[in-house]
Amino acid sequence: MTILLLGSGGREHALAWKMLQSAKCQQLFVAPGNAGTSQIATNVILNPLDFIAVKDFVLQNNVDMVVVGPEDPLVHGIYDFFKNDGQINHIPVIGPSKIGAQLEGSKEFAKEFLVKHNIPTARYESFTKVTVEAGCEFLTTLEAPYVLKADGLAAGKGVLILNDLAEAQQELRNMLVDAKFGAASSKVVIEEFLDGIELSCFVLTDGKSYKILPTAKDYKRIGEGDTGLNTGGMGAVSPVPFADAVLMEKIETRIVKPTVEGLQKDNIEYKGFVFIGLINVKGEPMVIEYNVRMGDPETEVVMPRIKSDLVELFEAVGQQKLEDAVLEIDERSATTIIIASGGYPEDYEKGKVISGIETIEDSIVFHAGTKEDNGNIVTNGGRVLAITSYGNDFQEAIKKSYQNIDKLHFDKMYFRKDIGRDLL
* Interaction site with ligand GLY (CB under 6 A): 218, 232-233, 291, 295-296, 298
| Backbone phi and psi for residue 131, each to the nearest 5 degrees, phi listed first | -110, 25
Residue 109 sits in the site that holds ligand AMP (CB under 6 A): no
Size of the site for ligand AMP (CB under 6 A): 13
Q: Is 372 in the site for ligand AMP (CB under 6 A)?
A: no
Contact 384, 340 (CB under 8 A): yes
Min dist CB 322 to ligand AMP, Å, is 26
C-beta of 275: minimal distance to ligand GLY in Å?
Answer: 7
Closer of 161 and 326 to ligand AMP (Cβ): 161
382 binds, among ligand GLY, ligand AMP, none (CB under 5 to 8 A by kind): none
CB of 361 vs ligand AMP, minimal distance in Å: 34
Give burial (CB, 10 Å; 0-12/13-18/19+) of 279: buried
Could you tell me the CA-to-CA distances from 414 to 91, 181, 380, 411 in Å, in that order? Answer: 41, 28, 14, 9
Q: Which is nearer to ligand AMP, 288 or 301 (CB)?
A: 288
Q: What is the largest CA-CA distance in the chain?
A: 60
**Shortest gap between Cβ of 167 and ligand AMP (angstroms)?**
16
Name which of 136 and 385 has its Cβ closer to ligand GLY.
385
For the CB of residue 72, give the shortest distance to ligand AMP in the complex, in Å.
15
- Residue 147 interaction partner, one of ligand GLY, ligand AMP, none, beta carbon < 5-8 Å per kind: ligand AMP
Of 59 and 161, nearer to ligand AMP (C-beta) is 161
Site membership for ligand AMP, residue 120 (CB under 6 A): no
Provide the b/e sequence for 53-77 (b: ≥16 CB within 10 Å).
Answer: ebbebbeeeebbbbbbbbbbbbbbb
Interface residue with ligand AMP, options 288, 303, 311, 360 (CB under 6 A):
288
Q: For ligand GLY, which is the closer residue by CB, 8 or 291?
A: 291
Helix axes 165-176, 132-140, angle to 10 degrees: 160
3-state secondary structure 28-46: EEEEECCHHHHHHCEECCC
Give the 3-state DSSP-derived string for 263-297, with helices as H, strands as E and coil as C: HHHCCCCEEEEEEEEEEEECCEEEEEEEECCCCCC
277 binds ligand AMP (CB under 6 A): yes
Exposed/middle/buried for residue 379 (C-beta within 10 Å: 0-12, 13-18, 19+) = buried
Q: Does 198 bind ligand AMP (CB under 6 A)?
A: yes
Q: Which residue, 288 or 377, has its beta carbon nearer to ligand AMP?
A: 288
Minimum distance of ligand GLY from residue 291's CB (angstroms): 6
> Sign of torsion, CA 143 146 150 154?
negative
Amino acid present at 262: G
Question: Between 206 and 298, whose beta carbon lies closer to ligand GLY?
Answer: 298
Question: CB-wise, 198 or 396, nearer to ligand AMP?
Answer: 198
The residue within the footprint of ligand AMP, chosen from 193, 264, 329, 391 (CB under 6 A), is 193
Q: State the binding partner of 198 from ligand AMP, ligand GLY, none, CB within 5 to 8 A by kind.
A: ligand AMP
289 touches ligand AMP (CB under 6 A) = yes
Residue 400 phi, psi dihedral angles, 5° rounding: -65, -45
DSSP-derived pairing of the beta strands 2-7 and 65-68: parallel
Pick out residues in 145-164 that bind ligand AMP (CB under 6 A): 147, 149, 159, 161
Q: Which does 48 bind (CB under 5 to 8 A by kind): ligand GLY, ligand AMP, none?
A: none
| CA 76 – CA 337 distance, rounded (Å) | 31
Among ligand AMP, ligand GLY, none, partner that 191 touches (CB below 5 to 8 angstroms by kind): ligand AMP
Query: From the CB of 391, what's the least distance to ligand AMP, in Å?
Result: 26
Q: Is 75 in the site for ligand AMP (CB under 6 A)?
A: no
Choose among ligand AMP, ligand GLY, none what residue 159 binds, the Cβ cut-off being 5 to 8 Å by kind: ligand AMP
| Among 123, 162, 379, 163, CA closest to 175 | 162
Give me the least distance between CB of 72 and ligand GLY, in Å please: 13
**Footprint of ligand AMP (CB under 6 A):** 122, 147, 149, 159, 161, 191, 193-194, 198, 220, 277, 288-289
